[in-house]
């Protein structure tokens, strides 16, 4: 296999220079300089002795750093540059937010790791599919040098052997994959030029409209027809600035230019969700176990505890998380995952909680749930859910889950079966609390009203046999119907 960034071809501007590269092996010293040109060896490049730097050579620019797309999560391979928080000429201090990057996990802030001045932006706001390690912007130390980079492009960032280019210091998060050196210029071809260089025409009625999710949201809120706009983003993509700068006629055209459909571009997060769920259904042998739990006792306990709490209220989901964690400690075979040659059984319970957001389904993790009290679980869930909905989840917030809980009870769903979240082996689907008339347990021959919740456990049969899944569900039901037993 050929590693990404390994040189595979040499391009020259003049056909007459081709013969000089007949014996080229990858070492610049092998190249015979064409007549009238200086050596292209690293020692002479950009020195000005016997050669004139080509317009695409970085040697014509002052000393600078080409900052590349960082890996903001351990699994990130590419990202979308959602928004710039700095502009050309802005002073950058370590810790400043440079831009918002949509990763495969969430939209995150890219923080500067060193001081400098932003000299040129190489990737336009709204550009998707920017590979980790691809050039993103240029940074210099002296603000007086910014003007020298007005003509700097990605092509300049990809030139090897220039003594004017420093090795970039790329902002990364703990556990992230270091970005590739700028000299390899990975995926440069995929990074689109600045908006001004990509002319686009408006889409005809009924044609597919390429627009960023934020642009679509703005267009819907302002009554602007996307079909009437010309996209200034990469490949004619409509970005937020196009909608905000739309003339009044574009909004007026909405009524007469409505398409019978609208194509919504998938975010990186949505693509990852789709990929993982498809893999789960195709590769994991699911089976499903359901039971009905009577929750009158836990409902009464919840009301009593909430009456005594000064801050925050306990939800039914908090009790479900606690009961699940306790059941996993009692049936550790269910707190496991498949790893091909072995099954990994976990000693702690990290509960992933499914949270619906505008970007898609997120699963932040309540860590050590078996050791936490109800109030601590409730606080953790509220904090994580808020971060998920605001797009502020860190990769660590969703990592290392051992068991997932998905609750659709608040939507009135009676019962459903969820898809296992790999590499986990179980997910618990929780339905709505429903009142039913059942035979009385205290007065034979009479009836009483009770509140019941139906739960369904989806299991990976490679890891959990049917009897183990049934045992876990039985223990869980016991804890939920008699919450005091969780104290033992």
Which residues are tagged catalytic? 461, 465
Beta-carbon count within 10 A of 143 CB: 14
CB-based contacts of 166-171 (< 8 A; 24+ apart in sequence): 166/63, 166/64, 166/65, 167/65, 168/65, 168/66, 168/67, 168/68, 168/139, 169/65, 169/67, 169/113, 169/114, 170/67, 170/68, 170/70, 170/113, 171/70, 171/98, 171/110, 171/111, 171/112, 171/113
Instruction: Please give the Cα distance from 131 to 257 (Å, whole number).
Output: 36
Strands 343-345 and 336-338: antiparallel
Q: What is the greatest pairwise CA distance in the chain?
A: 108
Q: Order across the sheet with 64-68: list the strands.
A: 91-92, 116-121, 135-140, 64-68, 165-166
Residues 6+ apart with CB under 8 A from 44: 38, 50, 51
**Partners of residue 460 on adjacent β-strands:** 286
Going by C-alpha positions, the residue among 354, 344, 347 that lies closest to residue 325 is 347
Cis peptide bond prior to 423, omega within 30° of 0: yes
Which residues are bridge partners to 355 per DSSP? 362
Helix (H/G/I), strand (E/B), else coil: 375: helix
DSSP label at residue 229: P
Q: How far, in Å, CA of 314 to CA of 299, rounded?
A: 10
Residue 202 CA to residue 236 CA, distance in Å, equals: 9
Token code pair at residue 360: 């898609």
Distance CA 175, CA 177 (A): 7
CA distance 241 to 456: 46
């Amino acid at each position: 296999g050929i590693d990404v960034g390994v040189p595979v071809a040499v391009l020259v501007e003049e056909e007459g220079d081709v013969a000089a590269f007949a014996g080229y092996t990858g070492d610049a010293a092998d190249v015979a300089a064409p007549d009238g040109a200086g050596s292209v060896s690293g020692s002479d490049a950009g020195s000005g002795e016997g050669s004139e730097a080509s317009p695409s050579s970085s040697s014509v620019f002052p000393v600078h750093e080409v900052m590349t797309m960082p890996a903001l999560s351990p699994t990130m391979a590419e990202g979308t540059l959602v928004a710039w928080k700095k502009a050309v000429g802005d002073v950058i201090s370590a810790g400043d937010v440079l831009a918002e990057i949509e990763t495969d996990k969430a939209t995150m802030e890219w923080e500067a790791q060193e001081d400098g001045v932003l000299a040129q932006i190489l990737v336009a706001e709204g550009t998707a599919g920017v590979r980790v390690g691809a050039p993103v912007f240029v940074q210099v130390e002296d603000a007086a040098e910014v003007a020298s980079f007005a003509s700097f492009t990605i092509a300049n960032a990809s030139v090897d052997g220039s003594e004017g280019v420093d090795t970039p210091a790329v902002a990364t998060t703990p556990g992230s994959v270091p970005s590739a050196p700028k000299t390899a210029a990975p995926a440069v071809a995929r990074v689109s030029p600045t908006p001004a260089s990509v002319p686009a025409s408006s889409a005809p009625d009924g044609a597919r409209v390429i627009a960023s999710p934020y642009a679509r949201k703005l267009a819907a809120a302002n009554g602007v027809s996307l079909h009437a706009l010309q996209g200034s983003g990469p490949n004619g993509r409509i970005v937020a600035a196009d909608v905000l700068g739309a003339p009044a006629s574009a909004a007026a055209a909405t009524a007469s230019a409505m398409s019978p459909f609208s194509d919504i571009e998938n975010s990186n997060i949505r693509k990852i969700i789709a990929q993982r769920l498809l893999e789960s259904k195709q590769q994991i042998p699911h089976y499903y176990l359901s039971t009905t739990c009577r929750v009158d006792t836990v409902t009464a306990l919840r009301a009593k505890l909430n009456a005594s709490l000064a801050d925050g209220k306990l939800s039914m989901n908090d009790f479900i998380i606690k009961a699940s964690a306790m059941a996993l400690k009692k049936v550790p075979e269910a707190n496991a995952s498949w790893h091909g040659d072995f099954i990994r059984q976990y000693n702690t319970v990290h509960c992933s909680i499914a949270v619906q957001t505008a970007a898609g389904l997120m699963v932040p993790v309540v860590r050590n749930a078996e050791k936490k009290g109800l109030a601590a679980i409730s606080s953790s869930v509220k904090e994580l859910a808020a971060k998920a909905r605001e797009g502020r989840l860190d990769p660590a917030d969703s990592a290392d889950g051992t068991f997932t809980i998905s609750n659709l009870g608040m939507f009135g769903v009676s019962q459903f079966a969820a898809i296992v979240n790999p590499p986990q082996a179980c997910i618990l689907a929780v339905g709505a609390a429903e009142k039913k008339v059942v035979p009385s347990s205290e007065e034979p021959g009479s009836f009483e009203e009770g509140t019941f919740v139906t739960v369904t456990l989806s299991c990976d049969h490679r890891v959990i046999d049917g009897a183990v899944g049934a045992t876990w569900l039985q223990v869980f039901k016991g804890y939920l119907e008699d919450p005091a037993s969780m104290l033992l």
